Amino acid sequence: MPVVRGKQIEVLYSASAIAQRNLELAKEIAARDYHDLLVISVLKGSFIFAADLIRAMHDAGISPEVEFIMISSYGAGQTSGEIRVLRDIDNAVAGRDLILIDDILESGKTLKYTRDLMLSRGARSVSVVVLLDKHSRRQAAVEADFVGFECPDHFVVGYGMDVAHAFRELPFVGIVTGDA
Ligand code: IMP
Ligand code: MG
């Protein structure tokens, strides 16, 4: 079991399993009839997933524009709080097909807020792709159009995701199981 920062990490999704799934997701996205596609990476947690997925999209023959939005709904801990836009996108979205890229869909509050914001700005469509879906935790009325993996109800780290700002650099997704 990998040990990072003195903690044992149980690997849930390996780097190769994620890479394989990203190719499949990109093909699913390519099979849709999107026009003038703009993908929006929801920072910070999605930055590694987005970087890998847009290159898989290139391999699948799609050429999207890429934007970034930073939404805050969580503090340094693990509880959901107030939702705010910390850093907005620069592009107009009216009439365009958008895909929001996020790491995890949990309560759904973050993605529902972001999707509704983009629809209120006149986006033609707003789809959602997430690496992980913690379906059992859903509170808001939002579903992902593309899901990498159905995730068990554990707090996960790695591949962009953090606990208290740590572990984002891990190339896999795992669970902190205890001290090494
Ligand atoms: P929600 O869907 O609004 O509850 O929030 C989802 C966001 O919370 C994700 O984009 C992550 O940034 C964060 N999050 C939720 N669950 C986890 C987890 O298990 N590990 C790390 N971040 C998480
Ligand atoms: Mg996030």
Alpha helices in the chain (DSSP H): 15-30, 47-59, 109-120
CA of 104 to the centre of ligand 1 (A): 5
| Domain carrying residue 34 | 19-151
- Name the band, by pLDDT with cuts 50, 70 and 90, for residue 72: confident
C-alpha–C-alpha distance, residues 73 and 104, integer Å = 13
Both tokens of 47, joined, read: 């930055």
Average pLDDT along the chain = 94
Whether the pLDDT of residue 67 is over 50: the answer is: yes
How many domains would you assign to the chain? 1
Query: What is the chain's percent helix, strand, coil content, to nearest 5?
Result: 25, 40, 35
Ligand nearest the Cα of residue 73 is: 1
101 found inside a domain: yes
Mean pLDDT of 32-52: 97
The single-letter code of the amino acid at 163 is V
Name the residue with the closest Cα to ligand 1, atom 22. Answer: 161
160 found inside a domain: no
CA of 158 to the centre of ligand 2 (A): 12
Mean pLDDT of 19-36: 97
Cβ of residue 102 lying under 6 Å from some atom of ligand 1: yes
C-alpha–C-alpha distance, residues 83 and 5, integer Å = 30
pLDDT the model gives residue 80 = 55
Whether the pLDDT of residue 75 is over 70: the answer is: no
CA of 106 to the centre of ligand 1 (A): 6
CATH label of the domain that carries residue 28: 3.40.50.2020
Both tokens of 82, joined, read: 């107030």
C-alpha–C-alpha distance, residues 42 and 83, integer Å = 13
pLDDT, tens digit (0-9, with 9 covering 90-100), for 81-97: 688 899 999 989 999 99
56 found inside a domain: yes
Percent residues over pLDDT 70 in the chain: 95
CA of 155 to the centre of ligand 2 (A): 13
pLDDT, tens digit (0-9, with 9 covering 90-100), for 112-155: 999 999 999 999 999 999 999 999 999 999 999 999 999 999 99
Cβ of residue 160 lying under 6 Å from some atom of ligand 1: no
Testing ligand 1's pocket by substitution, the residue of 74, 80, 136, 163 carrying the most ligand atoms inside 8 A of its CB is 74
pLDDT the model gives residue 76 = 47
Cβ of residue 107 lying under 6 Å from some atom of ligand 1: yes
